[in-house]
């Protein structure tokens, strides 16, 4: 991680203003997601799942429209923040709804399909971006199950407030488990890898935009394929084994990627190390997607 983070800083030091704008745009989506998740949880409780989904979709639509019609970085930041609000609200609502209406034996898989749809959108965006670099810029659940779970929910419904996180051990442990998994998902660098994937590839030695976007397309495809694999593994092998295996693989992959990037930036810019960095990047996604890319969302929907 430290290796290619250092390369990113060196690569863009002569474009400081552009760098600040791009990083602020990325950060505002994450900030928006924090507020969106908070607001979305209140809307879920007060107005129901349907209204929360409507609010999330409205934020998506408005934010996307703003980003599509402007080149002004300040306005794009506003659009990214609105999209982030939608991401946060949708993340809370979709997972809760899936957990409520699905039987336990297939719940992990259904949560996985939700993640697959998100990753599929990312993959499609890389396909479109790659297509636009080819010198053509100008052209560029059934009712019975639902009723059963609703009836069960009503019978088991109790009044819960946020202070129980500090008062009751079971809720506190569940909170630590859920929040801890989400924190680990970010600490292992997935946001950096996904947002800066084309730049990492260029820093590894593949300078052209076509090459960077082509390899990014492959990485995104691996992400989708790994998620499909995770849909099967999460219920077959269990959450714990899948998480531990994913973290071990991610640690090995990040070591390979970081060492390769460090050598390229400070010792030897040989093509061998460029390909080694690509291998590390691919392995990172292969190990991340079926485990840490999927398990935190499944576990949070269940607890």
Per-residue pLDDT of the chain (303 residues; tens, 9 = 90+): 444 445 445 545 545 555 556 667 777 777 888 888 888 888 888 888 888 888 888 988 888 888 888 777 788 888 888 888 888 888 888 878 887 777 777 777 777 777 778 777 777 777 777 666 675 555 545 555 656 666 766 666 666 667 777 778 888 888 888 888 888 888 888 877 877 788 888 877 777 777 777 888 888 888 888 888 888 888 888 888 888 999 999 999 999 988 888 888 887 778 888 888 888 988 999 999 888 888 888 888 777
How many Cβ atoms sit within 10 Å of the Cβ of residue 136? Answer: 9
Q: Give the helix/strand (H/E) hosting 232.
A: helix 209-236
Can you give the pLDDT at residue 133? 65
**How would you classify residue 205: left for phi > 0, otherwise alpha for psi between -120 and 50, otherwise beta?**
left
Can you give the pLDDT at residue 10? 52
Q: Are 74 and 21 in contact (CB under 8 A)?
A: no
Axis-axis angle for helices 169-187, 295-302 (nearest 10): 160
Cα(103)–Cα(272) distance, integer angstroms: 49
Can you give the pLDDT at residue 145? 60
Can you give the pLDDT at residue 30? 78
Cα(187)–Cα(189) distance, integer angstroms: 5
How many Cβ atoms sit within 10 Å of the Cβ of residue 30? Answer: 16
b or e along 222-251 (b: 16 or more beta carbons within 10 Å of the residue's beta carbon)?
Answer: bbbbbbbbbbebbbeeebeebbebbbebbe
Cα 194-198-200 angle, rounded to 5 deg: 85
DSSP 69: S
How many Cβ atoms sit within 10 Å of the Cβ of residue 121? Answer: 11
Q: Are 101 and 149 in contact (CB under 8 A)?
A: yes
Q: Are 244 and 118 in contact (CB under 8 A)?
A: no
Cα(36)–Cα(78) distance, integer angstroms: 14
3-state SS class at 25: helix
Cα(108)–Cα(187) distance, integer angstroms: 23
Can you give the pLDDT at residue 4? 46
Can you give the pLDDT at residue 288? 92
User: Dihedral of the CA atoms 106, 108, 109, 111 (nearest 10)?
Assistant: 120
């Amino acid at each position: 991680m430290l290796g290619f983070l250092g390369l990113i800083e060196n690569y863009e030091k002569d474009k400081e203003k552009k760098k600040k704008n791009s990083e602020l745009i990325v950060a505002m989506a994450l900030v928006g997601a924090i507020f969106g998740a908070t607001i979305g949880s209140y809307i879920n409780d007060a107005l129901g799942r349907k209204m929360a989904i409507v609010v999330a979709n409205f934020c998506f639509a408005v934010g996307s429209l703003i980003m599509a019609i402007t080149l002004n970085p300040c306005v794009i930041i506003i659009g990214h923040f609105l999209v982030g609000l939608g991401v946060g609200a949708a993340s809370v609502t979709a997972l809760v709804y899936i957990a409520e209406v699905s039987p336990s034996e297939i719940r992990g898989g259904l949560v996985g399909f939700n993640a697959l749809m998100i990753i599929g959108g990312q993959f499609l965006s890389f396909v479109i971006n790659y297509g636009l670099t080819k010198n053509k810029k100008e052209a560029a659940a059934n009712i019975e199950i639902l009723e059963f779970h609703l009836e069960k929910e009503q019978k088991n419904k109790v009044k819960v407030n946020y202070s129980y996180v500090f008062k009751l051990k079971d809720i506190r442990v569940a909170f630590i488990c859920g929040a801890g998994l989400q924190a680990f998902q970010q600490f292992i660098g997935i946001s950096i890898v996904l947002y800066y994937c084309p730049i990492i590839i260029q820093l590894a030695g593949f300078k052209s935009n076509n090459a960077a976007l082509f390899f990014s397309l492959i990485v995104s495809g691996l992400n989708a394929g790994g998620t499909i694999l995770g849909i099967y593994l999460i219920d077959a092998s269990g959450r714990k084994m899948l998480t531990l295996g994913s973290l071990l693989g991610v640690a090995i992959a990040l070591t390979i990627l970081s060492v390769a990037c460090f050598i390229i930036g400070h010792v030897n810019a040989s093509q061998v190390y460029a390909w080694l960095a690509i291998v590390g990047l691919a392995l990172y996604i292969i190990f991340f997607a079926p485990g840490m890319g999927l398990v935190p969302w499944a576990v949070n929907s269940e607890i």
